[in-house]
Chains A and B, each alone.
Chain A
Amino acid sequence: GAVVSQHPSWVICKSGTSVKIECRSLDFQATTMFWYRQFPKQSLMLMATSNEGSKATYEQGVEKDKFLINHASLTLSTLTVTSAHPEDSSFYICSARIAGSRHEQYFGPGTRLTVT
């Protein structure tokens, strides 16, 4: 149980284009989903907390107009990287919390984004 999927698993895009990443909880309802970014050999960095049906809460320093998050249902959250630049190249990982659980998060497999 507690399986989270992400799509795509990797993507290459040109500078200035937008990329959408999907995060789905496959066998549970997730009232809260989280988006992280991880650069090589560095720790996880929380970008935003996404609650179903409401606006995402962004961490300090994360541009909400650049990283658009939508959590339209209890099983789906999306992250859109708008006007991507090479410095946005990173490993983007989503996680989901089971409704009513004690804060444990289950992670998707991640999306590796390369902006050329």
Chain B
Amino acid sequence: QKEVEQNSGPLSVPEGAIASLNCTYSDRGSQSFFWYRQYSGKSPELIMSIYSNGDKEDGRFTAQLNKASQYVSLLIRDSQPSDSATYLCAVSSAGNNRKLIWGLGTSLAVNP
């Protein structure tokens, strides 16, 4: 059973701080890794994708991938109250009928 695990939280950080969100996955054949943000009552929104080991930066967001440790993380710098949401980690492998395997999400609260 392919799994993606995340801490459910809530993770609470003060405004301006760095929020660190973590995700582990079980399938070593995984090739594509995604972070989605979901506000309450809304649908998920893709914020980062990463495919190779190392860091990928986009604005205040940095995704980090370590395939040897089967670990992917998302850092949010200068956290804002508008970043308060649930962050979903999703993983895909080549032979998975194009499905994404989803974590249950980490709830982030950024306190003003």
Contacts and interface: CB of A to CB of B under 8 A. Distances in A.
B46 A110 contact: no
Interface residues of B, number: 23
A46 B92 CA distance: 14
A79 interface: no
Contacts of A34: 99
B54 interface: no
A39 to B, nearest CB: 13
Interface string A84-116: 000000010101010000111111111000000
A103 B102 CA distance: 13
Nearest to B104: A43
Contacts of B105: 43
Given A34-B99, A46-B99, A97-B98, A106 B46 contact: yes
Contacts of B43: 93, 107-110
A57 B92 CA distance: 17
A43 B32 contact: no
A110 B42 CA distance: 7
Contact of A44 (B31, B32, B42, B44): B44
Contacts of A32: 98
A102 B49 contact: yes
A57 B49 CA distance: 25
A75 interface: no
Interface in A50-96: 57, 91, 93, 95
Interface in B32-58: 32, 34, 36, 41-46, 49, 51
B11 interface: no
Closest 3 CB pairs of A and B: A103-B92, A107-B43, A110-B43
